[in-house]
Chains A and B, each alone.
Chain A
Amino acid sequence: MENKRIMLLAETGVAVALSAVLGMVNLYRMPQGGSISLEMLPILILAVRWGGVPGMITGLVYGFVQLIIDAYVVHPVQFLLDYPAAYMLVGLAGFIRIKDIEDKKSSYVRIAGAVLLGGCGRFLAHLITGVIFFGSYAPEGQNPWIYSFIYNISYIIPSIIISYIIIIPLVKPLFKYK
């Protein structure tokens, strides 16, 4: 039992480091400032390997590490939502269980569901921050929900698609390696 806990602790730490490394590589910089990167990937993999709660813990830790490494704080509530909360919700992916990795059809669909769930969780957190940001900085009379939705969806969807493309070849070797 103890062994498993330490194993999880070490894996989470290393997965967070991987996320930070992948976060430094920008695949594509959006003109409006967001960027598409693979930082969700290690969190998703840990979530798929260990389940929802460990996945969420990994995301939470990554959020804190991001806060320490390079955070941009524009609002007292924004930094909690944008960093710890957003990545914690990526860990939701782990609540979709992949039973049999050899059964390609069902596991591909389940992995897609997991990636989508994690991505949507993160999207939700960023959506709310966007609304808070626009609500307190943008002129009145503009609908903050639409702005925030368009801005955030523009990089979340590509991130989800790319994470899915890459997670497929990664899941199998990592699943067996346990």
Chain B
Amino acid sequence: MLRNINIGQYIARDSIIHKLDARIKIIITILMITALFFIDSFKGYFLFLLAVLFIIYLSQISFMRIIRGLRPVLFLVLLTLILHIFFTRGGEVIWQWRFITIEKNGLITGLFMVSRILLLIMFTSLLTLTTSPLQLTDGIESLLRPLKRFGIPASELAMMMTIALRFIPTLLEEADKIMKAQMARGADFESGNIIRRSKNLIPLLVPLFISAFRRADDLALAMESRCYHGGEGRTKLHELKVKTQDFIALFISILFSILVSFF
């Protein structure tokens, strides 16, 4: 009945990478992207790329899917490359035309920076591709739990995230419904300049917000009548558990990041 809206980028597969503990995956990701900043040769990047390709292979996600994820940063990548090619000086002159010169160092640093950005995005997108939003939420909650002592309510934050993730598809559908209803009454959401267009959104946004806050009301009532009382002493249906393979993965990535930092 409901349209199947996918939020996030998660692709369900039955792979070793998917089965790893979400917390371990978050830690590994942070570790690896930090290590990436210590690499200062193309050899190191090549090793890193091999590792990324190996993980992609293990995760059974198609390589093209990862490549497609790089598209939004294309502008950034091109800009970085162009800036370096024209402004970083040093080395022999590769190409010259009137006042434009391209020197070797510019080309090399440009390519270096671009490889770094691309590897970063590839690695971080692996995390969101192989871990469902709910698992990630659980992972973040568990990693934030030690901060409770400083007054950060980790479990409440996770509850809010869960509610948000649960309501995104509902509200998308609601927005669609209201939009169609207003269009049937002659509302126009597409023409005009940006100010005009945002003003035209008001007949969509007012009912959307009111209905959303009404849903929040119902939700709060339902939570209260089921005796929700915050994070203290709450149990979970699916507890996160660190297994042997998680330790192995963590161990390998620590070793790898130390090794690769020397390149």
Chain A interface (Cβ < 8 Å from any Cβ of B): 2-3, 5-7, 9-18, 20-21, 24, 27-28, 32-33, 36, 38, 41-42, 45, 57-58, 60-62, 64-65, 68-76, 79, 136-142, 158, 161-162, 165-166, 169-170, 173-174, 177
Q: Is the CB of A139 within 8 A of B109?
A: yes
Q: Is the CB of A70 within 8 A of B8?
A: yes
Closest 9 CB pairs of A and B: A13-B163, A17-B167, A16-B164, A10-B220, A14-B216, A139-B87, A10-B219, A73-B124, A10-B216
What residues of B have a CB within 8 angstroms of the CB of A57 in the complex?
Answer: 157, 160
Q: Which of B72, B136, B202, B216 has the most CB of A within 10 A?
A: B216
What residues of B have a CB within 8 angstroms of the CB of A45 in the complex?
Answer: 209
B41 at the interface (CB under 8 A from A): no
- Closest CB of chain B to A66's CB: distance in Å? 10
* Interface bin, chain B: 35 or more
Q: Is the CB of A14 within 8 A of B213?
A: yes
* Cα separation A20 to B171 with both chains bound (whole Å): 10
What residues of B have a CB within 8 angstroms of the CB of A5 in the complex?
Answer: 230
Chain B interface (Cβ < 8 Å from any Cβ of A): 7-9, 30, 33-34, 37, 72-73, 75-76, 79-80, 83-84, 87-88, 106, 109, 113, 116-117, 120-121, 124, 128, 133, 136-137, 140, 156-157, 159-168, 170-172, 175, 194-195, 197-199, 201-202, 205-206, 208-210, 212-213, 215-217, 219-220, 223-224, 228-230
- Closest CB of chain A to B83's CB: distance in Å? 5
Q: Is the CB of B160 within 8 A of A13?
A: yes
What residues of A have a CB within 8 angstroms of the CB of B223 in the complex?
Answer: 6, 9-10
Q: Is the CB of A73 within 8 A of B206?
A: no
* Chain A residue with Cβ nearest B7: A69
Do A27 and B194 contact each other (CB < 8 Å), given the known contacts A10-B220, A139-B83, A174-B210? yes
- Closest CB of chain B to A77's CB: distance in Å? 10
